């Protein structure tokens, strides 16, 4: 595990292998989209947010998909969109928090891309999602800290299957980007 707070001198981005997509996984609020955009820019790769791609393909929001069709339908569409994104040219892909939990999606990511688990303390995550205007169906009508604590207990052992684990500390996003680049260069 790499922690941005304990970094040595940053390695140049050119040391990073970019012939495979880099897929960011982790709980909601960990910064997959924000960090992913910055990571992509540093590596000279395109950035794609899988949730945005799913909404575009479905012509509705994730919340609407959950409400109208349920989570299993959403997860199937999510798997198909991620497969399409991974099969294209290398890019940085931010996934939704539950994407890596689907065994088929996880196997696809682990086989064809480089998975990076962005991890953070649940209290930090609860504060971040509490400030966000992004609609999060799993939080509807519930306390974010309670939901995130429950999700971490179930999901963290699965996220730990990602070969790279980077801790997202309450520091500038660039520190997390540096930690990912360092981990990818090893």
Domain ranges of the chain: 18-185
Which H or E run includes 180?
Answer: helix 173-185
In the CATH scheme, what is the homologous superfamily, with its name and number, of domain 18-185?
P-loop containing nucleotide triphosphate hydrolases (3.40.50.300)
Q: How many CA atoms lie within 13 A of 186 on its CB side?
A: 11
Q: 65 is written with which tokens?
A: 């998909």
Q: In whole angstroms, what is the distance from residue 168 CA to residue 74 CA? A: 27
Residue 132 has a pLDDT of: 61
Q: 56 is written with which tokens?
A: 């575009």
Kindly give the confidence (pLDDT) of every residue in the chain, 186 residues in length, as a single tens digit, with 9 standing for 90 and above.
Answer: 444 444 433 334 557 777 899 999 999 889 899 999 999 999 999 999 999 999 999 999 988 998 899 888 898 999 999 999 999 899 999 999 889 999 999 999 999 999 999 999 998 888 877 666 566 656 667 788 888 899 999 999 999 999 999 998 877 889 999 999 999 988
Sheet with 47-49: strands ordered across: 47-49, 92-94, 21-25, 113-119, 164-167
Q: In whole angstroms, what is the distance from residue 74 CA to residue 97 CA? A: 13
Local structure of residue 2 (DSSP, 8 states): B
Of 76, 92, 113, nearest in space to 40 by CA: 92
């Amino acid at each position: 595990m790499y922690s941005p707070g304990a970094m040595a001198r940053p390695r140049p981005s050119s040391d990073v292998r970019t012939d495979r997509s880099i897929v960011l996984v982790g709980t909601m609020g960990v910064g997959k989209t924000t960090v992913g955009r910055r990571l992509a820019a540093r590596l000279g790769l395109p950035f794609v947010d899988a949730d945005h791609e799913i909404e575009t393909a479905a012509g509705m929001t994730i919340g609407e998909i959950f409400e109208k069709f349920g989570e299993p339908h959403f997860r199937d569409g999510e798997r198909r969109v991620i497969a399409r994104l991974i099969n294209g040219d290398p890019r940085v892909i931010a996934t939704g928090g539950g994407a890596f939990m689907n065994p088929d999606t996880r196997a696809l990511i682990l086989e064809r891309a480089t998975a990076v688990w962005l991890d953070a303390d649940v209290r930090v995550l609860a504060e971040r999602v509490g400030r966000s205007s992004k609609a999060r169906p799993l939080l509807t009508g519930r306390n974010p800290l309670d939901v995130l604590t429950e999700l971490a207990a179930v999901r963290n052992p699965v996220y730990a299957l990602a070969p790279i684990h980077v801790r997202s500390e309450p520091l500038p996003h660039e520190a997390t980007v540096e930690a990912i680049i360092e981990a990818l260069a090893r």
